[in-house]
Each structure stands twice: as C-alpha cells, then as structure tokens.
A and B are shown apart, each in its own frame.
Chain A
C-alpha cells in the first residue's frame, strides 16, 4: 500500500457526499462520506493519527481527527457539536455535500512499533483519534505484542463507537477494559476513573508504547500512572488539538512551543509535550 505517495489536498477542498449519519453519544455524530471525484476516492490515503480540514459549505472549515483505519475501513469523521461550524455540520443530512482538505499532520507511529506491546488509554471522545490506530493494528494483529485498550467515559451512554466496542470485546488477543464514573444498573464493566483502572491493571512495561487521548484532567492523571508503572515518557504518545485555520503550517494559529501542531503534530510523545511549555 502506498501510504506516503498521497499528495494532500492543500488549497481547494475536494467535494464529498455524506452517505450515512449515525448518532454516537449526546452531541456527537458520525458522518460517513465518499468523494465525488472517483480518482480522489480511489487514491485518498491517510495515516492513523492524521487529521483533515472539513468544510461545511456556507459555515466554514474545522480541523478534525480521523477515526478510520488507513486500510479497508469506511471513511468517516465523528464530530461533537461544539461551535458554529460543527453545529452547521450537525444540521446536514445524508446526500449533503462537504469539502475535504488534507490529510495533514504526522500521525501515530505504526511501522516503527511493530513487535511491541500497545496500550491504548482513552477518555470520552478521546477514543475518536485512537480508533484509527486500534483498527489498523488489529488488521495487522500478528505483527504486534500485547494490545490493550482501557476506555472510560462518564456513563455507559457516553461511550463512543458502541458497535466497534462490541466487535473488540469479541476479538481474540485484544484485551479491553471499559469503565464508567459511577455504577449503573446493568453495567458489567469497571467503575471509576480511567487512571484508577490503569493503576489496578497488570500492564506490560518493556517494549511497550502507550497512546493516550482524552480531556486534560484525565490525560495528566493517566500519564502519572503509566510513568509510575515504568513506561518511558518517549513511549507515551498523544494527539493535541489546537485552533487551526490552514492545516499546512502557515496561519500559525496552532503554534505551541517551537512546533506547529498541524505539521509537527498532532501526535507528540509525552517527552515532547513536557517541553512545549503550554497546557494541553
């Protein structure tokens, strides 16, 4: 597969059609899309962890991480209604058009971590960018060591990608743990915050990388636990969000420390994040 030969769409968005919309959790919908230009539809390639700039015609453009695997996965984005443009996106119906630029950014390591153990830790909608890597790794399951997912949300209603979760629970050689903040009738998983669950679990340390994504409070507490277990800072990856306008390293809105999230990120190791000198 020619991952690196794809030339990103830089200036003029490519038109895509929304073919399906699903409600994920409150305020979050998943939009499946297909490019109108068959040539682009065929050649569009991403790396897990990259992002695109999505145009909602008449409203504007926003940066959004990609939840789909680079291989054999329907193209979609999952978006929370949080501002003007995302609210306009939520008004759209199947058949409506959107514009896509990208993909941009560095992405999660994949080839480099073959043979290693992977721990995914996600909180709430932090699962969105991690899903891409999870699905991709599972597609190449035999090339990795232990693969573990620890996913927490406020309540069972706030868990993203319920369909994928069902699938993952049934996947062999994929250790999954799910937790919600407070007990609920009918919930058979764990209860408590993600960091508490991470602390309790028996996790690999040697030859292990961790991918962490979630709200800042969760992120910081999880990092603390992972470090306590002995996982090195350069082996802990996360993906950052910033206000972005161009996606190509020119508008400078996403400057953090001496880097630009759109071209040097959005994936950083914790070791890098520590030196950037800004809050997450």
Chain B
C-alpha cells in the first residue's frame, strides 16, 4: 500500500489528464447535488463529497450513443456502413465501491454471456478506475446488505481510503502500479493494512441500524422472488405505487436495458442510436401491431425486482443485481425503491 498526501491530488489529476478524460464527483452549482460527471479542472472535484446522485455507468454505457452510421442511396443502390469509434480513454476518479460493483455486474452481463457486446467492450477496454472507500456511509446506503461495500475488493486500478492527512492507495493492476511509480508515492508503512481495516470496521458500524437489520431480509426476499412465492397482491400493491417514470432504472448502477432506433438526418445519413430504456415503460415490450404480452404495471414491476434479486439473474452477474447504493429509493416518487420492496416482502413473510 502507498500513501497519497491530500495536497498531491492535483498532481494525480494532471497526470491522469494527459491520457484520459476524467470523470468524478462534482457538485452542481445550481442544485447543490453531487453529480458524477466530466471534471475539466483539478479544482472541480471533491473526493469526499456524498455519494453522487447518478452512477458512473453512463461513461461506459451512455444515455444516448451512436453505434453505427450508414447511408443508402436508393438510385445507385450503394450502401456505406461505418462503425463509430471515437472513444477517448477515460478515468473514473473516486467512484464508490457500490458503483464499482455495478460496473463489474455490467462487465459480466455485457461481456460474459452468449455474446460479447462489442460497443460496451470498446468503452471498457479504455477505462481506468480509481475507487474510493466510504469511510462514512451515507444515509441512503445499504451496501453492507448486498456485499458491495463500504470498500472495494476487486476491479479497481487504484483504490483510495481517506485517512485525514491523505489517502491509503492500493494497487489493483499494472496500469495502477505504473501510475503509482510515476508519482513516486511513498510506501504507506507496516501499519497501513491495520489502519485500513479499522477505518472500514468503523464505517460498517456506523451504518444505519435499519440497513444492518435488512441484511438477512434481503436474502429472504431473494429466496421468495426466485421461487415465485411472492403473492400477486404484493406486486399489485407495488404496481399501484409505480409512476412508470423509469427513474429507478436510470439511477441504478446495474440497470442496462437499452433501445435501438435508426435516426435519419437531413444530410442523408442515418445513425443507429442506442439509448437507455426501462422495463417500467408500457411500450417496452409492445410489438408491432400493438400486441403487448406484458401489460399491467405490476407485471412490469416484478420484472425489475426479479432482475435485481433473483438467483437466475445473479448467475449472470455472479452476485445480486442490487449493489445497495440506495439511489432508487431516493428518486422514486412512489416510494417503491428496493429497500421498501424488501420491506413489503418481509411484511408478507411475517404477516405484519
């Protein structure tokens, strides 16, 4: 382990800037919200800011992405198809362990199933990840229940842990090692691992008691969801509260449903565009001719929670699809974020 003085953060930033576009937690001037966004200046980011409103998945899986460009001239019958590949190497600076876990879920899903998603792969290959331990949990968090925090164990190039005067730096890859050497960071000393362990233990102990108590209930809910033993009335209750706004999917670090549209431009070019989508939308499964096999809202809602918690989905992610960031609970106008859904399932089990 190495040590990075707080005062040296700008130097780290400048070094990264040489090769990468930098993304990190930035406080929005107007709303005061912390947003994970492009950071142009070293003064523009705050590693110890609260967990960002949005996960960093948009860096790898943009809201709106042109994946192909083509042009068909009907007179001459000429077709030209181009792959769009203008990707800059990017660095995710100071992402939280829940969000890193989310990226690992996306990796396993996009790269590890029957087919490799070539578009995602291009983004992923050029990514440098610097994660940051949560030395204090935030009020919305329950990563201790989903085994995804408060400190990252894998998947990073560098992992930071804030100690006060600076950061303990763990190296997770050759790329990370190279950067540490280039910065000539000093070794953190023999006490470093013990110090880090104490920091994490303190963090775990300061989680809200509700989060800690929920731990067992999440696995019981998982069991119920997988075996299909949640009664339809529970889904109806949840469905009635759903506004079908899709916000939960957009702030979820592991939600990755997308839509594809071909968009014509006046120049005669067509772009094949991939955009985020959400299973809460009614049109999500609607086929041409208006047949929709998945109609009622509760039918679509249980899909989401099935996707987040069931064993069969966990097989694709090699872990539960929920990383405990609490964002869905924060944005949901109908108050059916994942923790509440677990509560409803818990009530069904206990009969409260």
Q: Write the residues of chain A forming the contact surface with B, with a CB cutoff of 8 angstroms.
A: 8, 10-13, 15, 17, 55, 57-62, 82-86, 95-97, 99, 241-243, 245-246, 248-253, 255-256, 258, 263, 277-280
A-B contacts, 15 listed (Cβ < 8 Å): A11-B119, A15-B79, A60-B261, A83-B287, A241-B287, A243-B285, A249-B114, A250-B110, A250-B115, A251-B257, A252-B257, A253-B285, A263-B114, A277-B228, A278-B299
Q: Which residue of A lies closest to B116 (CB)?
A: A10
Chain A residues closer than 8 Å to B306, beta-carbon distance: 258
Q: Which residue of A lies closest to B119 (CB)?
A: A11
Main secondary structure of the interface of A (DSSP, over half): loop
Chain B residues closer than 8 Å to A60, beta-carbon distance: 260-262
Chain A residues closer than 8 Å to B257, beta-carbon distance: 251-253
Task: Assess whether B189 is interfacial by the CB under 8 Å rule.
Answer: no
- Nearest CB in chain A: distance from B115 CB, A: 4
**Contacting pair A245 B70 (CB below 8 A):** no
**Contacting pair A97 B79 (CB below 8 A):** yes
B:303-331 near A, CB below 8 Å: 303, 306-307, 310, 312-313
Task: Assess whether B194 is interfacial by the CB under 8 Å rule.
Answer: no
**Contacting pair A62 B77 (CB below 8 A):** no
Task: Assess whether B294 is interfacial by the CB under 8 Å rule.
Answer: yes
Chain A residues closer than 8 Å to B294, beta-carbon distance: 278
Which residue, of B83, B288, B312, has the highest number of chain A Cβ atoms within 10 A?
A: B288
- Nearest CB in chain B: distance from A25 CB, A: 16
- Nearest CB in chain A: distance from B77 CB, A: 6
Q: Which residue of A lies closest to B255 (CB)?
A: A252
**Contacting pair B258 A250 (CB below 8 A):** yes
Q: How far is the CA of A61 from the CA of B270 in the complex (A)?
A: 12
Chain B residues closer than 8 Å to A12, beta-carbon distance: 68, 81, 83
Q: How far is the CA of A58 from the CA of B277 in the complex (A)?
A: 22
**Contacting pair B113 A249 (CB below 8 A):** yes
Contact pick for B262, options A59, A82, A83, A97, CB 8 Å: A59
Contact of A246 with B270 at beta-carbon distance under 8 Å, contacts A11-B83, A263-B114, A280-B293 already known: no
Chain B residues closer than 8 Å to A250, beta-carbon distance: 109-110, 113, 115, 117, 120, 256, 258
**Contacting pair A278 B293 (CB below 8 A):** yes
Q: Write the residues of chain B forming the contact surface with A, with a CB cutoff of 8 angstroms.
A: 67-68, 70, 72, 74, 77, 79, 81, 83, 109-110, 113-120, 228, 256-262, 264, 270, 272, 277, 279, 284-289, 293-294, 299, 303, 306-307, 310, 312-313
**Contacting pair B118 A13 (CB below 8 A):** no
A258-B310, A263-B113 known; 20 new pairs, CB 8 Å cut-off, are A10-B115, A10-B116, A12-B81, A57-B70, A57-B270, A61-B272, A95-B77, A99-B81, A243-B286, A243-B287, A245-B258, A250-B115, A250-B117, A250-B258, A251-B258, A252-B307, A253-B257, A255-B307, A258-B306, A280-B293
- Nearest CB in chain A: distance from B229 CB, A: 13
Q: How far is the CA of A64 from the CA of B289 in the complex (A)?
A: 14
**Contacting pair B81 A58 (CB below 8 A):** no
Chain B residues closer than 8 Å to A17, beta-carbon distance: 77
**Contacting pair B72 A97 (CB below 8 A):** yes
Which residue, of B72, B113, B119, B228, has the highest number of chain A Cβ atoms within 10 A?
A: B72
**Contacting pair A61 B260 (CB below 8 A):** yes
- Nearest CB in chain B: distance from A17 CB, A: 8
Chain B residues closer than 8 Å to A251, beta-carbon distance: 257-260, 277
Chain A residues closer than 8 Å to B303, beta-carbon distance: 255
Chain B residues closer than 8 Å to A245, beta-carbon distance: 258-260
Contact of A57 with B287 at beta-carbon distance under 8 Å, contacts A96-B77, A250-B256, A263-B114 already known: no
Q: How far is the CA of A57 from the CA of B293 in the complex (A)?
A: 28
**Contacting pair B72 A57 (CB below 8 A):** yes
Q: How far is the CA of A253 from the CA of B256 in the complex (A)?
A: 11
Chain A residues closer than 8 Å to B312, beta-carbon distance: 258
Contact of A82 with B68 at beta-carbon distance under 8 Å, contacts A248-B114, A251-B259 already known: no
Q: How far is the CA of A61 from the CA of B67 in the complex (A)?
A: 14
Contact pick for A83, options B74, B109, B228, B288, CB 8 Å: B288
- Nearest CB in chain A: distance from B304 CB, A: 11
Chain B residues closer than 8 Å to A84, beta-carbon distance: 288
- Nearest CB in chain A: distance from B84 CB, A: 11
**Contacting pair A11 B67 (CB below 8 A):** yes
Q: How far is the CA of A13 from the CA of B313 in the complex (A)?
A: 29
**Contacting pair A58 B293 (CB below 8 A):** no
Contact pick for B264, options A58, A258, A263, A277, CB 8 Å: A58
Contact of A57 with B79 at beta-carbon distance under 8 Å, contacts A249-B113, A251-B257 already known: yes
Q: How far is the CA of A249 from the CA of B113 in the complex (A)?
A: 8
Q: How far is the CA of A253 from the CA of B274 in the complex (A)?
A: 13
Which residue, of B70, B81, B115, has the highest number of chain A Cβ atoms within 10 A?
A: B115
Contact pick for B260, options A83, A246, A252, CB 8 Å: A246
- Nearest CB in chain B: distance from A266 CB, A: 13
Chain A residues closer than 8 Å to B74, beta-carbon distance: 96
Chain A residues closer than 8 Å to B307, beta-carbon distance: 252, 255
- Nearest CB in chain A: distance from B286 CB, A: 6
Q: How far is the CA of A263 from the CA of B109 in the complex (A)?
A: 13
- Nearest CB in chain B: distance from A242 CB, A: 7
